[in-house]
Amino acid sequence: MNYLASLVTLLLLGQECVGYCPSLCVCKNKAGDGAAPEVEAGDPLRLKCGGSPTQLTELKEIDLSQVLTTVISLNLSGNAITVLSRELQLPNLQKLDLSKNQISLIESDAFYNMTSLQRLDLSNNQISNIYKEMFKGLVNLERLIMTHNHISVLPVGTFDYLVGLKQLDITENPLICDCELLWVADWSRNTSVKLVGNPKCASPENMLNKTVRKLKIFLDLSACGSLLPITTLVVKPYQNQVVFEGDSLNLSCNAPFASVLAKYELKWIHPMLEICDVNETTTDMQEEGLAETTLFFPNLTNHHTGNWTCAYSDQNHIKHNHTVEVVVISNTTKYCMTNHTIDNKGLYAWPQVLLNHTASVPCRSGEGLAYRYCQANATWGMPNTTACSYTSNVTKLLQQFALLNISLVQYSAVNATERLALLIQEKTYPLAEISDPDDVMFIAAAIRNYMQYIEEEQDLGKW
């Protein structure tokens, strides 16, 4: 008995040293050499499970509970799996191959806790319905392969959760190329996701074998209505630019709504465009499926300062434009220097600003902005604090009295006048002090407002 117990113990210890490999699977270490007997416990594993001659029909047929954190690659290709559900919870999995199965349904949480997954192969299955929630959590996925399925429709935003995606293969699917598929090409360009294999249309008949990337060339966009891409120019960078002399700069502008059917013109406008050292590149939509024009400034000088306007127009009299102001600064550039102002709206610190530009700072009271213009002679104009609230509580109260509409409140003009008089006489506001010219203006406005009711309310006269 002692001999038998010792033998069992040695076998168990040997298994722990070798590591665990699930039944119906072949295990390899990260380097790819050696079958199960040579795999060390805790080593990163690459698994190939099922396949001919023993095909899996469900994921639960393999027990991965002892290797959840060590599996980095799982090959389940060549099986007979029909449904993907939340049964694979492998946080360190980087590659998952589910090709050549019979998958027709993928549940919304099927890839739960697979945040490390980088490559997912779902090719050669029977998938017809894909949707956004299907890919939730796959933030590091770089390549998605869905070729040779039954996908005909791609809802807008299907791949929004795949923020790290670099390549998408949806070739050999019966794609219906109508207005609802327009978004795919623009999404691909805007996110720099490569459409591998240049997927083509399967229907309708007039779109057969047309490429998805050039869909806008062949569709009548006037029939797409709200399904059209965004109807504004996409300009990058979108905001005004302050740059240093000698630097380089790129400005790009594309019109995602452009159509070959409506002859269009897309160009940059600037008085010095023809003589400035600027390289302009225009992408032809007929060739690339994209209407875009790009400016490159290799060596910025003061001549490039000004408004650069991207302008679009077509034969349907549709026009769009967006202007980016470029300011080139150098050692000779003049500014209005930093300083402070104070008024009844508060104390404001004004930053250094270029000539002929306006500075804006948050109001000291209220949610608006205060403005101040830097004039051509390098001096500041008067601050504009119109959008800001008064800092004095007394002034705020007097402003409310001036704006009060007696006809819309519950009490009479006599009541309002009495309260105003008490405020002025410092009986309800002990520290009240009428010191701001605007205080007098508001008092006068309030009295003028209440006086129109003197015939209706005789007691107004005694106040």
Strand pairing partners for 371? Answer: 360, 384
Instruction: For residue range 51-96, list pLDDT tens digits in order.
Output: 888 899 998 899 988 888 899 999 999 999 999 988 888 999 999 9
More confident residue, 285 or 149: 149
The topology (CATH level 3) of 334-389 is: Hormone receptor fold (4.10.1240)
Question: How far is the C-alpha of 457 from the C-alpha of 452, rounded, in Å?
Answer: 10
Residues 196-227: b if buried by 16+ CB within 10 A, e if exposed: beebbbbeeeebeebbbbbbbbbbebeebeee
Question: How far is the C-alpha of 288 from the C-alpha of 272, rounded, in Å?
Answer: 29
pLDDT band at residue 182 using 50, 70 and 90 as cut-offs:
confident
DSSP state of 273: T
310: pLDDT strictly greater than 50: yes
448's enclosing H/E stretch is helix 437-451
Say what the pLDDT of residue 148 is.
Answer: 97
121: pLDDT strictly greater than 90: yes
Separation in Å, CA 330 to CA 149, 301, 308, 335: 59, 9, 20, 11
Instruction: For residue range 425-445, list pLDDT tens digits in order.
Output: 665 555 556 667 777 777 777
Token pair belonging to 422? 């008490």
326: pLDDT strictly greater than 80: yes
Does 44 sit behind a cis peptide bond, omega within 30 degrees of 0 on the bond before it? no
* Torsion, CA 137, CA 141, CA 147, CA 149, rounded to 10: -10
Domain range 13-174, CATH class? alpha beta
DSSP track, 188-217: HHHHT-EETT--B--BSGGGTT-BGGGHHH
Instruction: For residue range 190-225, list pLDDT tens digits in order.
Output: 888 999 999 999 999 888 998 998 887 777 666 676
Say what the pLDDT of residue 35 is.
Answer: 43
Question: How far is the C-alpha of 264 from the C-alpha of 260, rounded, in Å?
Answer: 8
Say what the pLDDT of residue 461 is.
Answer: 54
Q: What order of strands is seen across the sheet that includes strand 306-314?
A: 241-244, 319-329, 306-314, 264-269
6: pLDDT strictly greater than 80: no
Q: Which of 7-11, 315-319, 424-428 has the lowest mean pLDDT?
A: 7-11
Question: How far is the C-alpha of 108 from the C-alpha of 137, rounded, in Å?
Answer: 10
More confident residue, 376 or 259: 376
AA identity, residue 252: S
124: pLDDT strictly greater than 60: yes
Q: Tell me what the mean pLDDT of segment 344-365 comes to.
A: 90
Ranges of each domain in the chain: 13-174, 234-329, 334-389, 393-462
31: pLDDT strictly greater than 60: no
Architecture of the domain spanning 234-329: Sandwich (2.60)
Question: How far is the C-alpha of 392 from the C-alpha of 400, rounded, in Å?
Answer: 13
Region for residue 50 given its phi and psi (left: phi exceeds 0; alpha: psi -120 to 50; beta: otherwise): left
pLDDT band at residue 37 using 50, 70 and 90 as cut-offs:
very low
